[in-house]
Amino acid sequence: MTETTPAAGSVALITGGTGGFGRALAGLLRERGVTVVLADLDSDRARQTAADLGAHFVALDVTDRAANAAVVAQVEAEHGRLDAAFLNAGIAGKSRDALDVDEFLKVVEVDLFGVVYGTEAALPALRRAGGGSIVVTASLAGLAPVATDPGYSVAKGGAIAFVRSMAPRLVDDGITMSAICPGFADTAIIDPLRDEFAAADFPVLSAEEVAQAMVAAWAGAEPGAAYVVQPGIGAVPYRFKGVPAAKTASGETAAVPASLIPPSLR
Ligand SMILES: NC(=O)c1ccc[n+]([C@@H]2O[C@H](COP(=O)([O-])OP(=O)(O)OC[C@H]3O[C@@H](n4cnc5c(N)ncnc54)[C@H](O)[C@@H]3O)[C@@H](O)[C@H]2O)c1
């Protein structure tokens, strides 16, 4: 990533913003003079967390499509603009059943549809600001699905596919969309696994390491990139292998009709 610093005075919205990554990110952005709005499920703890960080708080359940739009409207009304949306809210599954469909649907609703609704809500505001960034917190589990949590793997894999398919459509608007794919990191979401990691001496990321990758993605991501963040390697763009191309009857590589490719990619 070719990092530049987000301009002081710009405005960032972080969903799931009072959790581990959100707090670390808010701290880094506040140091850079960015106005930060943390959107999260409502609680006294969440409101106090935002106040302690010098950030604003707005209650949001990301699974409520209309509420996402209302939050962005509130950000624009109160702060004049929106420059970056960090779609970061997420939950993991806990079930030990081979397939718990109720839990699967809940995780997909938050971790995938929350991202889709957040994108829908943010886009008009980012266009009005003359461009900006959407940074989605996906996960390594979206690139290397985990048998312990199929709903999470599907949701995060879907979020990465969503970012990759949306990003080219936004380039002409000056909007950069990218995904961050951290390995295990030291936040509340890994509480059920923490003892096992410690016993195995397995390295976990700090929330600050992930937040640094999120700031860098805002400032200089490759559109559609999925950045792997792992202990000891920092943030590295994942290189997708692509798929074998179709062959024509005569054995030539078939070209996708130009009309199916967005003008900015032809
Ligand atoms: N910690 C890790 O190991 C790890 C690794 C890869 C990806 N992630 C992803 O990072 C993101 C942030 O997680 P974290 O590690 O900071 O964990 P966290 O549990 O500390 O934070 C998650 C935040 O999301 C909020 N949230 C949950 N459901 C919500 C909803 N419906 N609407 C609005 N907010 C909601 C929670 O209240 C919480 O503040 C998540 O998307 C998670 O899947 C975490």
Predicted local distance difference test score (pLDDT) of residue 263: 72
Mean pLDDT, rounded, for 23-29: 98
Residue type, 165: S
Residue nearest to atom 18 of ligand 1 (CA): 19
Separation between Cα atoms, residue 225 and residue 2, nearest integer Å: 13
pLDDT of 5 reads 77
Nearest Cα residue to atom 32 of ligand 1 = 61
Which pLDDT belongs to residue 131?
A: 97
110 lines ligand 1 (CB under 6 A): yes
Contact partners, residue 256, CB within 8 Å, separation at least 6:
none
pLDDT of residue 3: 58
Atom of ligand 1 nearest to the CA of 61: 32
pTM assigned to the model: 0.96
Kindly state the greatest CA–CA separation across the chain. Answer: 67
Q: How far is the CA of 251 from the centre of ligand 1 (A)?
A: 48
Ligand 1 in contact with 180 (CB < 6 A)? no
Q: Which residue has a Cα nearest atom 19 of ligand 1?
A: 189
Residue 64 has pLDDT above 90, yes or no: yes
Share of the chain above pLDDT 70, in %: 97
Measured CA to CA, the distance from residue 255 to residue 265 in angstroms comes to 14
- pLDDT of residue 2 exceeding 80, the answer is no
Query: Three-state DSSP class for 149?
Result: coil
Q: What is the mean pLDDT of residues 19-25?
A: 98
Give the DSSP per-residue string, 173-212: GTEEEEEEEE-SBSSGGGGGGHHHHHHTT---B-HHHHHH
Task: Give the DSSP letter string of 87-104.
Answer: E---------SS--HHHH
Q: Which residue has the tokens 């397939």?
A: 99
Query: Residue 262 above 80 pLDDT?
Result: no
Say if residue 264's pLDDT is above 90: no
For residues 17-40, give the mean pLDDT. Answer: 98
Over 80: is that where the pLDDT of 266 sits? no
Mean local confidence (pLDDT), 102-109: 98
Quick one: pLDDT at residue 77? Answer: 98
152 is catalytic: yes
Angle at 234 between CA 195 and CA 227, to 5 degrees: 100
Is residue 6 predicted with pLDDT exceeding 90?
Answer: no
What average pLDDT does range 139-162 have in this prediction? 97
Amino acid at 226: A
Domains, the chain, ordered by start: 11-265 (3.40.50.720)
Mean pLDDT of the chain: 95
Residue from 15, 47, 58, 91 whose mutation best tests the ligand 1 pocket (most atoms within 8 A of CB): 91
Alpha-carbon distance 70 to 247, whole Å? Answer: 48
Query: Does the Cβ of 20 fall within 6 Å of ligand 1?
Result: yes
Cβ(151) – ligand 1 distance below 6 Å: no
70 versus 192: which is more confidently predicted? 70
pLDDT by residue (tens digit) across 161-215? 999 999 999 999 999 999 999 999 999 998 988 999 999 999 999 999 999 999 9
* Non-local CB neighbours of 102 within 8 Å, separated by 6+ positions: none
Confidence grade of residue 95 (pLDDT, cut at 50, 70, 90): very high
